[in-house]
Structures are given as structure tokens and as C-alpha cells.
Structure 1
């Protein structure tokens, strides 16, 4: 098990965001269908969610399905949607008991009505939990989010609900999907790919990044602890000079 005492002696990221990549490749390398890799990846989420509070992480944001993922085969997309439903049904009671608040970001209105209803139900069920906020990005893209936020801000200004003279980075944040969340401190990507894939473009401007050469189904609580320990050794200056 990770040494959580040692982690707490160092700087710990309050908000960890993860691009959970490599499920399909993990399965293909083992002669399994891609959906088997996605299922193993969903099962891996439970271990990471359970580990976060003990490591001092208060917010975990997972990139589950991008706006570009609709380009995949209908069989894979439909299978992923079934897995989202399966996770919500299977984990809702566990998340509630564990003090985990669950929320979703992205273009949820493009999802099926029954999945939207399930998402809303678990958000309402866990709304008062405070041990960990688990945010899942479904049908999400960073550029799309920024454009939608700009449109919402313009509409609010048009109706007088927002004064453009008050526009700042902080005030713009209220129009983003992540309103109410702190910016991520640490962004992780699995599978060996070294790109951010349109993920939290506004929010992660000053995040630390780690690109890991393992697929998501092989990402464990011990891996997370190692990433957090590495984060604790970094010098985060935000444009200032050390010392």
C-alpha cells in the first residue's frame, strides 16, 4: 500500500486530473476485444477513487469520453455508454457511503435521455459529500467548453446578468463546466502518448504534467502515490523566481 504519511509530509496536489488512455490497446495486446479493456479500465477507477482521500487528494477529474470519441465504431461507442450506466448503477451506493461527490462535465445533452437521468440522479444523491469530488468528463472537449462558456457569457451580458467591465479570469470561470472546482494541480496521462488531447485547456494552464508509459488498466494506487511523490519534489513558481 502507498505510504500516505510520507505523502502528507510533502506538497500534495489538491486536484488531480487524469486522461485514462490505453484501454483498447491494453486489451488488443492480450488478444481481447477492445471493450474488455474499457471494462477493466472502469474497474480500475474504483481503486483510484478509494485511494485519493488517504493521499490528501480532494478532487479527481477523469477524462472518460471526448467530443472526438464519437468517431469510433458504433459498437465501441455503444459499449462505452453501457459501461457508464453500469458504473453509475454499481457504484452509487459505494460512493455515497464513502463520502464521494460525483459530478459530470461535457455536452451531456447529446447523451441518451436515460443516461442523462442517471447522471443527474447520482449528482443529486452525492451532492452533500465532501471527502472527494469525482468529476467525470463525458462528451467533453476543452475548446468546445471555452466556446460554450464565451457564448453563455455573451448571453448573460446581453440580458444584463453580467457586466463585461467585470470580466476577469476568475469571473470567466463561472461560465465553464468546472465552475466551483479548483484548477487541477497535476494532470496525468497514461498509454505513453505525450499530448493533452483537448483536456481542461483553460483550467490546466499551470498544472504539472506526467505522461506515463503504461495503459490505464495497469495504473494502480501505488502508481498514483509515485506520481504524487514526484509532484511534491517539484518547484512550482507560477512565473516567479525561486526563493
Structure 2
């Protein structure tokens, strides 16, 4: 039986976040240049988007390029930016056909003009879709995001738009780049590393974590479905006891 058949279709995580790790290591194992690993990683992105669409997952956030990644060799960064231009252009029609919207979060002003233009065009063209949202975390850093939110709140406080007592979790969340989306229910990280690498530090507070040794270019639909089966076998308590959760479920049924 496939993992897809084991999934309770009524309990699909609303928001799935993925740290796509292992492109470079995959390429090295194949005796290829790192850029070839990123190209194969794009194929994994396409497979994952199609698999998520099949489940009607509402949001999928892909950690595509971090602020720290700008420190990589210029040749690799330039190749990644060119690859991104081609990818969003090539996949726009497919996303529209599958009723998928493209979104992006991060310090997008740092992207090269051609990359930003291609990204903006794909976002605009797919805005007609009403189905799942694929969110690219580009030039993204959670520490940058939190610091930026704190600066915005400080300016509002200084200008008298808010009072000190207005500052709470809801206000903070409203100043994050993810303010238009619900927090992730499930975080998947490929590549065998057991860390979240400065990704959605605020938003992952109550997410379930799933780590796999698969390198990102090896990831496919069944890989995603396996992670969701694992997620559905967990009990999400949000600080409550198992007994409280059980009682609440019984009340919902009745």
C-alpha cells in the first residue's frame, strides 16, 4: 500500500514548510558540478508541488535561498539566479493549469533585477489561481525578519500609532513577512541534518518536525506522503494534556 493511500484526507496539514537540503551533496555523489544538483532539485520541487496539489494542501513554503547563501561562491550564486529565472518562466503555465499561486517572502530587494522581474511576473500571472499557494522563501533569514518586525513596531510606537500595551504576539505576527499565511503545521527537512537553519523561527513554534536522510533531489511524492502519514500519527497538544485533547475531540464529534 502506498503512503498516499494511508493518508486521512480529512486531516491534511494546512501549511507544510520544507527545508530543501542536499543538492550539492547529491551532485558530488554523482560526480557532477553543484549546479547540476540544483537543476535536479528543481525537478524535486515540481514533483512536490504536484503531490501537494493532489492532496489540496493550502500552503507549501519552500526554503529556496537564505540570506546566508549570498556568501557562497559567486559562480554558484549567479547560476542559481539564472536557474530561478528559467524555472519560474517555464513553470508559470503549469502552475496556472494546476490552479497554483506563487508567493514569495524574504528580502527580495537583494535579488538581481532580472531575477526579481521574472519572479514578480510569475506571481502576477498565477494570482488568478484560487488553489494552493507555493511560497518561496528567497533571500530569507528569520533573524532578519524578526529584527525588521521589531524596527517597524518601534517606528509605530515612536510615531504614536500604537501604545506600549498594544505590543503582543498578534502585533508581532502582523509585522512578519508571513502575515498573510497561517503558521506551518509540519516542517520537513531533507538531507539528514537536524536543525532548522534560521528558518521561520517564530512561525514554527508549534509545528511538527520531520527529518529524512533523503537528499532533496531524491525527494518525491511518496516521500511527502510518508511525512504526512508520520505527522498524522502524532498528537498535537499545544501545551495541553492528552486527556484534554481527547475530551475536546469527543465534544467536537458530539
Provide TM-score, normalisation by structure 2.
0.91
Deviation at 1:12, TM superposition (A): 2.0
The answer to whether the aligner puts 1:152 opposite 2:156 as a matched pair is no
CA RMSD of aligned residues (A): 1.6
Q: Between Structure 1 and Structure 2, how many residues are aligned?
A: 243
| In structure 1, distance between residues paired with 2:185 and 2:211 | 15
Corresponding residue for 1:95? 95
| In structure 2, distance between residues paired with 1:173 and 1:81 | 30
Relative distance call for 1:5 and 1:128 in structure 2 (3 A) is farther
Corresponding residue for 1:60? 60
Corresponding residue for 1:219? 219
Query: Which residues in structure 2 correspond to 1:30-179 (within 5 Å)?
Result: 30-179=30-179
| In structure 2, distance between residues paired with 1:119 and 1:151 | 27
- When structure 1 is superposed on structure 2, of 212-221 and 89-98 the one drifting more is 89-98
Corresponding residue for 1:207? 207
| In structure 1, distance between residues paired with 2:2 and 2:156 | 47
* Larger Rg over CA atoms: 2
Q: Please give the per-residue CA displacement for 1:130-177, whole angstroms capped at 9, x wherever unaligned.
A: 311100011111111100111112223333444443222122111101
Deviation at 1:4, TM superposition (A): 4.2
Contact 1:66 1:138 (C-alpha < 8 Å) held by counterparts: yes
Deviation at 1:5, TM superposition (A): 5.3
| In structure 2, distance between residues paired with 1:161 and 1:101 | 33
Relative distance call for 1:5 and 1:215 in structure 2 (3 A) is closer
Runs of 4+ in 1 over 6 A off after TM superposition: none
Contact 2:9 2:55 (C-alpha < 8 Å) held by counterparts: no
Deviation at 1:204, TM superposition (A): 0.4
Deviation at 1:6, TM superposition (A): 3.6
Relative distance call for 1:8 and 1:129 in structure 2 (3 A) is farther
| In structure 2, distance between residues paired with 1:175 and 1:46 | 30
Specify the SS of the correspondent of 1:68: helix
Contact 2:106 2:145 (C-alpha < 8 Å) held by counterparts: yes
| In structure 1, distance between residues paired with 2:116 and 2:102 | 14
Query: Which residues in structure 2 correspond to 1:189-200 (within 5 Å)?
Result: 189-200=189-200
